[in-house]
Amino acid sequence: MEFLKWSTENRIATITIAKGPANALSSQVLRELALVLDELEHDENVGVIVIHGEGRFFSAGADIKEFTTIETGEQFSELARLGQNLFERMENFDKPIIAAVHGAALGGGLELAMACHFRLVTETAKLGLPELQLGLIPGFAGSQRLPRFVGTAKAAQMLLTSTPITGVEAVQAGLANQAYPEADLMENTYKIASQIAKKSPIAVKAILELFSYNKPEKFHAGVEREAVLFGRVFDSADGQEGITAFIDKREPNFVGK
Residue 71 is among the residues annotated as catalytic for this protein: no
In sequence order, what are the beta bridge partners of 16? 5, 52
Residue 131 is among the residues annotated as catalytic for this protein: yes
Which has the closest alpha carbon to 194: 10, 44, 50, 13?
10
Q: Which entry of 111, 123, 169, 226 is annotated as an active-site residue?
A: 111
Q: Which entry of 123, 131, 169, 226 is annotated as an active-site residue?
A: 131
Give Cβ neighbours of residue 208 (< 8 Å, ≥ 6 apart): 92, 93, 94, 95, 96, 117
Return the sign of the alpha-carbon dihedral for residues 196, 200, 203, 204. Answer: positive
| 48 touches 95 (CB < 8 A) | yes
Tell me the residue length of the chain: 257
| Exposure of 29 in the CB half-sphere (CA atoms within 13 A) | 26
Roughly what angle, to the nearest 10 degrees, separates helices 108-115 and 142-150? 60
Spatial distance between the Cα atoms of 210 and 206, rounded to a whole number of angstroms: 6
Catalytic annotation, residues: 111, 131
